[in-house]
């Protein structure tokens, strides 16, 4: 991600299929919505999302958890699923805990 103040996400290292979406303006797609609103966003069925940016036709659901350092957004954890409605309450808690640990590294 670029320095604070920039209103676009820039992909860093990731695992998965190649994607053309390596720069995402805040507000665009699930990742951009999470960045703009500074909240975790869960899409249990991406086909129902009007603002979804498809990185792979296999993705059917997505969860994006923002990473903060001193109240500033410094990154995101994005997890895709190949089935609809896979995410539970624990799937929200666990990545949030990971993001808190990662933020301590910045």
Give tens-digit pLDDT for 16-68.
888 888 999 999 999 999 999 999 999 999 999 999 999 889 999 999 999 99
In this structure, what token pair is assigned to residue 3? 């320095």
pLDDT tens-digit profile of 60-105?
999 999 999 999 999 999 999 999 999 998 888 999 999 999 999 8
Inform me whether the pLDDT recorded for 2 exceeds 50. Answer: no
Q: How far apart are the first and last CA of the chain?
A: 12
pLDDT at residue 10, as a whole number:
93
DSSP code per residue over 37-77: HTS-EEES-GGG-TT---S-TT--EEEEEEEEETTEEEEEE
Tokens standing for residue 95? 């990545």
- Using CA atoms, how far apart are residues 90 and 5, in angstroms rounded to an integer? 32
Half-sphere exposure for 12 (CA within 13 Å, toward CB): 7
How many residues are there in the chain? 106
Question: Domains of the chain (ranges plus CATH)?
Answer: 21-103 (3.30.450.40)
């Amino acid at each position: 991600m670029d320095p604070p103040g920039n209103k676009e996400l820039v992909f860093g290292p990731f695992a998965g299929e190649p994607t053309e979406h390596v720069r995402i303006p805040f507000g665009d797609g699930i990742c951009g919505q999470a960045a703009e609103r500074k909240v975790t966003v869960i899409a249990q069925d991406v086909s129902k999302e009007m603002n979804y940016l498809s990185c792979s036709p296999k993705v059917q659901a997505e969860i994006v958890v923002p990473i903060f350092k001193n109240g500033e957004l410094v990154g995101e954890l994005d997890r895709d699923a190949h089935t609809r409605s896979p995410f539970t309450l624990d799937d929200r808690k666990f990545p949030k805990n990971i993001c808190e640990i990662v933020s301590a590294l910045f």
